[in-house]
Structure 1
Amino acid sequence: MLATGLRNWSCSGHSSGQQFQKSIQGRLPFSRRRAYRVLAGEKRSVNRARWAQLSPSSPPEQAESTATQTDGLVQAAAAALQSSVFPQIDALVGANIQRVQHAFKKARIGPHHFAGSTGYGHGDLGRAAFDEVMAEVMGAEAAIVRTQFVSGTHAIATALWSVLRPGDRMLAVAGRPYDTMEEVIGLRGTTGHGSLREWGVGYDELSLAADGSIDWDQLPHALNDDTKLVLVQRSCGYALRPTLGIEDIARVVDVVQQHGPPGCVVAVDNCYGELTDVLEPCAVGADLAMGSLIKSPGGTIAPGGGYVAGKADLVAAAAARLTAPGVGMDAGCVEASTLRLQMQGLFLAPQMVGEALKSGRLVAQAMTAAGFAVIPGPGMPDVLSYITAVQLGSRERMVAFCQAVQACCPVGSYIQPTPGVTAGYGDEVIFADGTFIDGSTSELTADGPLRPPYVVYCQGGTHWTHWAMALDNALAALLHARDSPAA
């Protein structure tokens, strides 16, 4: 009945909305119609989504009958997890709340830290104190948390450029990095935009072992005298491989220290990894760790920003790269409300990450029961992953799954995601991301590139019961996609 209710609600508001859109567009010059669609909120990018219509897979009366075929599957999965896996995740949440609280207490955070700043941001006590808190949580000597980081990719790129110089080489040890890093490195993208390759930085890539892990046998041989930085991507990204654990990162550090050249930097792309364990990469020897505040450490309420944590000299170099040499860590204004939300978000982050981890385990349990291959599989994995990859096997199923998830989002439930070209990605990508913070995968999202084997990557969930609702809707939609001639 949930799926039917959503479709009926969407339908009732669609006709007048579509007529309004057509009437407005009819009065616009052709050159401005595309811009209007974006401003009207139809799409995050022009090729991303379109105004809601009736589900292309079935009329409403058919949706009700197919929804009943999935009744009980998600509920059974949840019941099994509540008595086994969920208590283990709750224990992790408790441990991480303690270490975050310790960091706030150590920095003596008080109301006076929420004043904010303007202009250059000189003398911002709250910003400086938040840097201390983040460094403590990350197990690092220092950290910068800045609203001026527009994304996790921006924070990572800033750290890479602060270390690497012409003639240096970077080694990616966990296979091909995440899609948005490819243009930063120079594997693809627009000539003249200043990729690392254009600045004379070499790039080496260590393929994964057959089981999807780091190729430990080949790692020592992949290091050479010109290797200045080793990049470790902790999450699977858009790859069918296990998430790396803290023990894996510690082992990379050990190998680099034994076989790499003196001063070789180990930098960890920590996006989706924060607070999924009781330690962070810098606590086990990584020189740098970088990530986004609209992912895990923002607790679903930080409106933007990112961080770089690690050794003090390297963090200072990253700050100089973000701003300018001589400006460094002493600048970067942040509004009072933003600063408070960022701090509060970090305090909420252990709980929000716990719910996301529970949601991922629910996705794995239910989708495996429905007959789909999932990584990591059901149960309690050796390494908890913020991202759960579900192999759907066809373009049609990916579209159906993401559209069904979007319909259960609090923001833009009336939008139907469609595959399209998005900045930073080489393939068409589809996103279900009806979130209060644009791009906040901590809330509840499902996305993936439209390429074989057609995998949807599920993240976030402010409470696992939200994902339970979305899964009910998605499983009903997949029944139609499976039965369609195009599937």
Structure 2
Amino acid sequence: MKTREEAERILKSCEEENKALFAEIEETALYNTEKVLAAFREFHVAERHLKGTTGYGYGDIGRETLNAVFAKTLGAEDAIASPYFASGTHALKVSLYGLLRPGDILLSVTGAPYDTLMSVITKKGIGSLADYGVKYEQVDLNKDGSFDYDAILAALEHAPKMVFLTRSRGYSDRDAFSIEQLREAISFIKAHSKAIVFVDNCYGEFVEKEEPTAAGADMIVGSFTKNIGGGLAPSGGYAAGRRDLVRQVAFSLTAPSLGTEIGSYQPGYQSFFQGLFFAPHVVACALKGSILFGAAFSKMGYRTIPACGKRCGDIIRSIVFEDEKKLIEFCRIIQSVSPIDAYVTPEPWDMPGYNEQVIMAAGTFVGGASLELTADAPIKPPYIAYVQGGLTYEHIKLAVLRCIEEFA
């Protein structure tokens, strides 16, 4: 245990030691803010685009302009930016069902997707891709978290329709992939295959100056309650990439032949436009907070991923506790410093779609929003907590202070 004064000294030293990384993050945020502003200007975003519509939504200029702004920002030919995606998993599901057909092979080259998506792909009897005759193959990463190019090459000989890459780590103990790592892998895949290259981009938007589309990805998908929603979007997600592929995903979201021609949203689009505008700054806060968590817990003797002093590939910080009680206590501390439900004590529970019990600290304004400061973990060895987000850097600092007081 440390006093508040002792914890503040440790925190200050963590900030001093990471000034250079903080400066890089702030420069990236400036670049990405300019990119977002350029998209707003190009498509003449005006107050009328913030308003909602009812019924079929034919000619909904807010919906159409939001799609265009997202496509431009993400470096894509086209995009669907919709409040009707219920989660990142839902956006991925709709996209996969739009692009894959019976007999097609879906090849994941970053190991298994996270639990909820794995059920979408392989679980029998629930309307999964497997139930519809889509085959699944998998290439695991090397032990150091790098791509196994020999195994990928062998798997590509089976002529997969799609190659799937997960940018973030899920509940694994690897680093997230950088854009440069993705570029190398995608170039290799495209040199040996005509498969659609599909990237789960959740937790990765605005971490760098480029998105996976710039690295050659044909499709990227993400969630509005993570990075790109800026903490304001109340729901939704996006699918962006090649125009012909986005068209097929649109048919999956609404109905064949209708696509993005319909879809009203009476509450209006202000929170989505405004969230996108805020997102580069809020992501920068989250990244600086991740570095702060990593530095503080490294000083206290814990292993963190990414390693202390290393650049982040997403907004998630993994902290390896090797102890169930410490893991649970950490999540309870994060809950206790939350603006919402701070009085609640989180407990492990059987969360739908996951293989083990999961504990979640999520005192958020938007339910389950992981761009807000949250922490979660499967209850299994080596008892890794996954902490992410933070709408303000000051909030994250207070959480880190509280952790130092408890764990140092």
SS of 2:150's equivalent in the other structure is coil
Q: Cα RMSD between the aligned structures?
A: 1.6
1:166 Cα deviation from its structure 2 partner: 1.1
Q: Is the 8 A contact 2:231 2:275 kept in 1?
A: yes
1:318-356: CA deviation from partner (whole Å, max 9, x where unpaired): 01101111221111211344x111000001100000001
Give the distance between the partners of 1:398 and 1:210, measured in 2 at CA.
24
Q: Could you tell me which residue of structure 2 aligns to residue 270 of structure 1?
A: 201
Of the three residues 369, 372, 390, the one matched with 2:299 is 369
- How is 1:177-216 mapped onto 2 (pairs within 5 angstroms)? 177-186=113-122, 188=123, 191-216=124-149
Does 1:379 find its partner at 2:309? yes
> What residue in structure 2 maps to residue 253 of structure 1?
186
Within 5 Å, give how 1:54-453 maps onto structure 2: 70=7, 72-81=9-18, 83-186=19-122, 188=123, 191-260=124-193, 262=194, 264-337=195-268, 339-381=269-311, 383-453=312-382
Counterpart of 2:385 in structure 1 is 456
Q: Secondary structure at the match of 1:72?
A: helix
- Contact 2:52/2:264 (<8 A) preserved: yes
Structure 1 CA distance, aligned partners of 2:185 and 2:354?
A: 28
- Deviation string 1:20-64 (CA, Å, 9 cap, x unpaired) is xxxxxxxxxxxxxxxxxxxxxxxxxxxxxxxxxxxxxxxxxxx8x
Provide the rounded CA distance (Å) in 2 between the counterparts of 1:328 and 1:107. 21
Q: Give the whole-Å Cα distance in 1 for the aligned partners of 2:354 and 2:24.
A: 36
Quote the offset at 1:392 in angstroms. 0.7
| Residue in structure 2 matched with residue 38 of structure 1 by the alignment | none
Distance 2:310 2:32 in 1: 18
Does the 8 Å CA contact 2:82/2:237 hold for their aligned counterparts?
yes
Contact kept, 8 Å, 1:169 with 1:201, in 2: the verdict is: yes
Contact 1:400 1:474 in 2 (8 A): no
Dislocated runs of 4+, deviation >3 Å = 65-71, 475-479
In the alignment, residue 289 of structure 2 is paired with which amino acid?
S
8 Å Cα contact 1:400-1:477 kept in structure 2:
no
**Is the 8 Å Cα contact of residues 101 and 347 (structure 1) preserved in structure 2?**
yes
Query: Matched residue pairs, number?
Result: 408
Indicate if the aligned counterparts of 2:182 and 2:212 stay in contact, CA closer than 8 A. Answer: yes
Contact 2:342 2:363 in 1 (8 A): yes
- One-letter code of the match for 2:221? M
Structure 2 SS opposite 1:86? helix
Tell me if structure 2 keeps the 8 A contact 1:167–1:226. Answer: no
In structure 2, the residue corresponding to 1:220 is in which secondary structure?
Answer: helix
C-alpha displacement at 1:68, in angstroms? 6.6
Instruction: Find the residue that maps to 1:415 and give its secondary structure.
Output: coil
CA distance in structure 2 between the aligned counterparts of 1:71 and 1:302, rounded to whole angstroms = 33
Do the aligned partners of 1:155 and 1:306 also contact (CA within 8 Å) in 2? Answer: yes
Q: What secondary structure is seen at the aligned counterpart in 2 of 1:461?
A: coil
CA contact (8 A) 1:171 1:203 kept: yes
Q: Look up the match of 1:25.
A: none
TM-score by length of 2: 0.96
Measure, in 2, the Cα distance between the counterparts of 1:67 and 1:197. Answer: 54
Structure 1: distance between partners of 2:134 and 2:172: 25
Distance 2:362 2:91 in 1: 22
Can you list the C-alpha shifts for 1:363-415, whole angstroms capped at 9, x where unaligned?
1100000100001011242x533111000111111110000110000000000
Q: Which residue pairs with 2:400 in the alignment?
A: 471
Deviations along 1:242-279, whole A, 9 cap, x unmatched?
1111122222221222212x3x1000000001111111
- Give the Cα–Cα distance (whole angstroms) in 2 for the partners of residues 312 and 185 of structure 1: 24
* 1:281 shift after superposition: 1.2
Counterpart-to-counterpart distance in 1, 2:275 and 2:298: 33
For 2:202 and 2:173, the matched residues in 1 are separated by 17
The answer for unaligned runs of 5 or more in structure 2 is none
1:66 Cα offset (Å): 6.5
SS at match of 1:217: helix
CA displacement at 1:70 relative to structure 2: 4.2
Aligned-pair distance for 1:80?
2.4
Contact 2:296 2:404 (8 Å CA) reproduced: no
Provide Cα deviations, 1:265-310, integer angstroms capped at 9, x if missing partner: 0000000011111111112221100010111011001111110001
- 1:462, distance to aligned residue in structure 2 (A): 1.6
Q: Which has the larger radius of gyration?
A: 1
